[in-house]
Amino acid sequence: MKPLLLHLVLATFVFFSSIRDGCAGITSSFVRSDWPSVDIPLNHEAFAVPKGYNAPQQVHITQGDYDGKAVIISWVTPEEPGSNHVQFGTSENKFKATAEGTVSNYTFYKYKSGYIHHCLVEGLEYNTKYYYRIGSGESSREFWFETPPKVGPDAPYKFGIIGDLGQTFNSLSTLEHYIESGAQAVLFVGDLSYADRYEYTDVGLRWDTWGRFVEKSTAYQPWMWSAGNHEIEYMPYMGEVVPFKSYLQRYSTPYLASKSSSPLWYAFRRASAHIIVLSSYSPFVKYTPQWQWLREELKNVDREKTPWLIVLMHVPLYNSNDAHYMEGESMRVVFESWFIEYKVDMIFAGHVHAYERSYRFSNVDYNITSGNRYPVADKSAPVYITVGDGGNQEGLASRFMDPQPEYSAFREASYGHSTLEIKNRTHAIYHWNRNDDGKKVPTDSFVLYNQYWGNNRRRRKLKHFLLTVIDEVVSI
């Protein structure tokens, strides 16, 4: 029995060391039989317009406050403003309450948008299913959503993470696999529609198709948005020079609830997670509004209430793909030391059209005078995950740097999405799911120990275990 026990101890040690401290990373040899990276044709059923005159379309919801007791419900009416009300309640077909929203439209070159509605529905109960109705008469439409559990350290929750989605058949595959995953809300890491790949009036049209494309998920659960480069839409040759114009008109964020001065960066709490959303394409160096806001928001994080601290951004800070190599370096230099200091659990990004996961590494000692310049294993560092593989028309980023850097644990150029299933204050289960030509295949997965609660407890347990083993060995 005793040699067996020693083997078990050694194997356990090697396994945990490999997860925690880094070892040779894996570059997956999986080669995907690529569907063409072209957008779905406009007349495809994925973009079907709902029946009825002026029927609400492109319905999407997002969290509307700091703690999850409100949602912002958004939709577009194509012909005229129509009703600006949301009727809602906890029983199907019984809508006891009404909220009133705002309506606006915009032009982009010669495209004139439909009437875009945003309605804050607040004062909701936790852990409750709500039904809601928008539109009027025979054209009205009904949907539902579920509020999260009350913010607390052991509130379980399952997030999905999707990035760089676009509107191709690969995008459709990702969306359908995500819906099967059973996750309860999406953390979206930027680059939504890729409408900016079009010109003139087609830009607006492709925002509309994307809104209808994702509605089968976005109408029923909150998608929390962050902006990518494809949202900037700086197109001076068309006379369009206001950054993020279409995105900000169409997609709301609860930025005021976290005292942010811009919808492009904000924070919220959901179940046991505190989520911080950053903007890679807004100023972030010292003293800028985003820098000052983040410095204050990090002080608001209470790991006793929300043990899980997650940061979203579009451009990854660690990336060993040829595509977009080093683009996140300037933000890494500014913010990485804070992410270490506050023991961020995970940082999700998109932008690179491939999947990559890091070990816990940091490069905060970087100093051009001392010569220190290599990332080193760091237990206080977050796990960095790039999941910009939603499936847009630009295709996959298949050229990784060789050799694989030490910080890189797993990388693969395939389409897919991730899920993070928080179990309690100490443990969460993470999966990356490759689409794999129609079948959902969990490809990269691990158990995540919380940086605030999990580590200490695990260290205590490990210490106890090792003392027991030493006793056993001594008594041989």
User: Hey, how many other C-beta atoms are within 10 angstroms of the C-beta on 169?
Assistant: 16
Could you say which of 229, 252, 272, 290 contacts Fe ion (CB under 5 A)?
A: 229
Q: Around 212, how many Cα atoms within 13 Å sit in the side-chain half-sphere?
A: 23
Per-residue binder mask for Fe ion (CB under 5 A), 137-176, x = binder: ----------------------------------------
Q: Which is nearer to Fe ion, 322 or 437 (CB)?
A: 322
DSSP string, 251-270: ----GGGGT-SSTTSEEEEE
Q: Partners of 268 in the beta sheet?
A: 275
205 and 42 Cβ atoms separated by less than 8 Å? yes
Q: Which is nearer to Fe ion, 83 or 229 (CB)?
A: 229
Backbone angles phi, psi at 342, to 5 degrees: -95, 10
Angle between helices 289-300 and 329-341 (to 10 degrees): 20
User: Please, what is the minimum distance in Å from the beta carbon of residue 194 to Fe ion?
Assistant: 9
Query: Which secondary structure element, helix H or strand E, spans residue 87, and what is its range?
Result: strand 85-89
Judged by CB under 5 A, the stretch of 68-76, 109-117, 221-229, 406-414 that binds Fe ion is 221-229
Could you say which of 191, 196, 208, 406 contacts Fe ion (CB under 5 A)?
A: 191
Judged by CB under 5 A, the stretch of 13-21, 188-196, 238-246, 327-335 that binds Fe ion is 188-196
Q: Which residue has the tokens 């816990």?
A: 360
User: Please, what is the minimum distance in Å from the beta carbon of residue 42 to Fe ion?
Assistant: 24
Q: Which is nearer to Fe ion, 81 or 395 (CB)?
A: 395
User: Please, what is the minimum distance in Å from the beta carbon of residue 82 to Fe ion?
Assistant: 34
Q: Which is nearer to Fe ion, 351 or 360 (CB)?
A: 351
CA nearest 168: which of 266, 268, 345, 36?
Answer: 36
281 and 248 Cβ atoms separated by less than 8 Å? no
User: Hey, how many other C-beta atoms are within 10 angstroms of the C-beta on 266?
Assistant: 27
Task: Give the number of residues in contact with Fe ion, rule: CB under 5 A.
Answer: 4
Is 44 part of the annotated catalytic residue set?
Answer: no
Alpha helices in 214-368 (DSSP H): 215-218, 245-250, 289-300, 329-341
d(CA 412, CA 390): 13
Q: Which is nearer to Fe ion, 153 or 416 (CB)?
A: 416
* 39 contacts Fe ion (rule: CB under 5 A): no
User: Please, what is the minimum distance in Å from the beta carbon of residue 315 to Fe ion?
Assistant: 7
| Residue number, nearest CB to Fe ion | 351
Q: Which is nearer to Fe ion, 22 or 228 (CB)?
A: 228
Angle between helices 2-21 and 454-474 (to 10 degrees): 150
User: Please, what is the minimum distance in Å from the beta carbon of residue 386 to Fe ion?
Assistant: 11
- Interface of this chain with Fe ion, residues 350 to 379, rule: CB under 5 A: 351
Judged by CB under 5 A, the stretch of 47-55, 130-138, 189-197, 217-225 that binds Fe ion is 189-197
- Interface of this chain with Fe ion, residues 316 to 355, rule: CB under 5 A: 351
Q: Which is nearer to Fe ion, 72 or 165 (CB)?
A: 165
Q: How far apart are the first and last CA of the chain?
A: 11
* 196 contacts Fe ion (rule: CB under 5 A): no
User: Please, what is the minimum distance in Å from the beta carbon of residue 123 to Fe ion?
Assistant: 37
User: Please, what is the minimum distance in Å from the beta carbon of residue 196 to Fe ion?
Assistant: 10
User: 165 exposed, middle or buried (CB, 10 Å; 0-12, 13-18, 19+)?
Assistant: buried
Q: Which is nearer to Fe ion, 191 or 436 (CB)?
A: 191
Q: Which is nearer to Fe ion, 142 or 327 (CB)?
A: 327
* 228 contacts Fe ion (rule: CB under 5 A): yes
Judged by CB under 5 A, the stretch of 176-184, 228-236, 357-365, 437-445 that binds Fe ion is 228-236
371 and 365 Cβ atoms separated by less than 8 Å? no
Backbone angles phi, psi at 208, to 5 degrees: -65, -45
User: Please, what is the minimum distance in Å from the beta carbon of residue 416 to Fe ion?
Assistant: 17
Question: Given 324, 351, 417, 431, which residue is catalytic?
Answer: 324
How remote is the C-alpha of 452 from its chain's centroid?
A: 21
User: 467 exposed, middle or buried (CB, 10 Å; 0-12, 13-18, 19+)?
Assistant: exposed
User: Please, what is the minimum distance in Å from the beta carbon of residue 338 to Fe ion?
Assistant: 23
Judged by CB under 5 A, the stretch of 69-77, 191-199, 211-219, 415-423 that binds Fe ion is 191-199
User: Hey, how many other C-beta atoms are within 10 angstroms of the C-beta on 365?
Assistant: 13
How remote is the C-alpha of 78 from its chain's centroid?
A: 29
Q: Which residues are catalytic?
A: 324
- Positions touching Fe ion (CB under 5 A) are 191, 228-229, 351
